[in-house]
Amino acid sequence: MESAKIAQNIECSNCHKQSDDCSKTFDCCCKNCFRDDNTSILQALSKGELDYLVEGKHQIHYKPGETIIKQNTSSTYVVCVREGLAKVYVEGVRGKSIIIRLISNQDFVTGGGLFNGNIQKFTISAITPVTVCLLDSSKLANLFSENNSFSVELLRHHTKQNNSLVTKLVNLTQKYMPGRVADTLLYLKNDIYKNNTFSVPLTRQDLSEMSNMTKESLVRILQQFKTSGLIKVSGNTFEIIDENGLRSISRNG
């Protein structure tokens, strides 16, 4: 990780002296920021185990476009997103990338290397300003061997991520382009923004990389969807008008 970023690390040692409420002490890395119900993977830990895990935890702030994890590099940390939106993508040959998913608040990302030599299998970069907590992966491995309930939750998390990745790759390679664009719009609507109308801080290039096609093809299909009354588009704001129609296109590929 860049030395400039390491310099921005915020140590946890003074947390108990300031406040246990991270919302009031934003730059404080205390264990309370892992007590959210959405972070279910850590709910199986006892108080002592959670104290052990977050000791030495770092909180880092990234600007849009900055790299959080770099593919094929070694890292001894796992990432928990506290705030913001980032993209997870695989860097392919000839500069081509495929965005496999977006991550936001409470997402817990091991980088794919926790049990595989800590070699990261993809790149993560910030789309908006992003705040992450970095946890020592060796501590997670120790807790995995000592706490059966936690190990089950961690394995479930890995399995869910792997299943999602397999489904994504199958859809990107076997569906026609309209089906892939429909999948992207439904993913943004149902998984990221959970609203029929949403504004995305994504470029058309980002959306094309989520759909595994050229930017020109994406723009053309979005126009077709708009003309057909499936969606409304105004700049980076999308409104889903006919979700059933998009689902039909997705099913038919």
Residue type at 2 in one-letter notation = E
- Cα separation, 100 vs 172, in Å, equals 10
Among 61-65, 166-170, 230-234, the minimum mean pLDDT is found in: 166-170
CA distance 129 to 215: 25
Do 61 and 127 have their domain in common?
yes
Residues contacting residue 42 through CB under 8 Å, at least 6 positions apart: 34, 50, 53, 108, 150
Same domain? For 163 and 191 the reply is no
User: Which pLDDT belongs to residue 157?
Assistant: 81
Q: What percent of the chain has pLDDT over 70?
A: 81
The count of other CB atoms within 10 Å of the CB of residue 19 is 13
The label of the residue with tokens 């997705």 reads: 250
Q: Where are any strands of DSSP class E within the chain?
A: 58-62, 67-69, 77-83, 86-91, 97-103, 108-109, 123-126, 130-136, 197-199, 231-234, 237-240
Mean pLDDT of 70-84: 85
- Clarify whether residues 24 and 130 are in a common domain: yes
- Of 171, 193, 210, which residue constitutes the final position of a domain? 171
pLDDT of residue 2: 43
Confidence of residue 78 (pLDDT cuts 50, 70, 90): confident
Q: Are residues 228 and 132 part of one domain?
A: no
CA distance 221 to 178: 6
**Has residue 50 got a pLDDT over 60?**
yes
Is there a single domain that holds both residue 180 and residue 78?
no
Do 218 and 235 fall within a single domain?
Answer: yes
Rounded to 5 degrees, φ, ψ at 129 are -55, 130
> What are the b/e assignments for 212-235, b being 16+ CB within 10 Å?
bbeeebbeebbeebeeeebbeeee
Query: Coil, helix or strand for 96?
Result: coil
CATH number at residue 203: 1.10.10.10
Total number of domains constituting the chain:
2
Question: How far apart (Å, rounded) are the C-alpha atoms in residues 114 and 24?
Answer: 32
Last residue of a domain, one of 171, 191, 219: 171
- Band of the pLDDT at 165, cuts 50, 70, 90? confident
Condensed to tens digits (0 to 9), the pLDDT of residues 93-102 reads 777 889 999 9
Q: What is the pTM of this model?
A: 0.80
Q: Which residues are registered as beta bridge partners of 134?
A: 58, 79
Q: Which domain holds residue 186?
A: 175-252
248's CB contacts (< 8 A; 6+ apart) are none
Q: 220 — phi, psi (to 5°)? A: -65, -40
Looking at the fold, whether 82 and 201 belong to one and the same domain comes out as: no
Strands (E), 104-249: 108-109, 123-126, 130-136, 197-199, 231-234, 237-240
Asked if 9 and 81 sit in the same domain, the reply is: yes
Q: Are residues 157 and 189 in the same domain?
A: no
Mean pLDDT of 132-161: 87
Does residue 222 share a domain with residue 143?
Answer: no
Q: Is the pLDDT of residue 125 over 90?
A: yes
Structure-model confidence comparison of residues 13 and 195, the more confident one: 195
Calculate the CA 91 to chain-centre distance: 16
Reported as a single tens digit per residue, the pLDDT across 16-46 is 444 444 444 444 455 555 654 445 677 888 8
Q: How many CB atoms lie within 10 A of CB 197?
A: 12
Average pLDDT over residues 74-98: 86
Q: Which residues face 119 on adjacent strands?
A: 74
Strand partners, 88: 101, 124
The CATH number covering residue 135 comes to 2.60.120.10
Among 129, 155, 171, give the residue marking a domain's end: 171
User: Are both 152 and 79 inside the same structural domain?
Assistant: yes
Same domain for 242 and 142:
no
Structure tokens given for 198:
């949403």
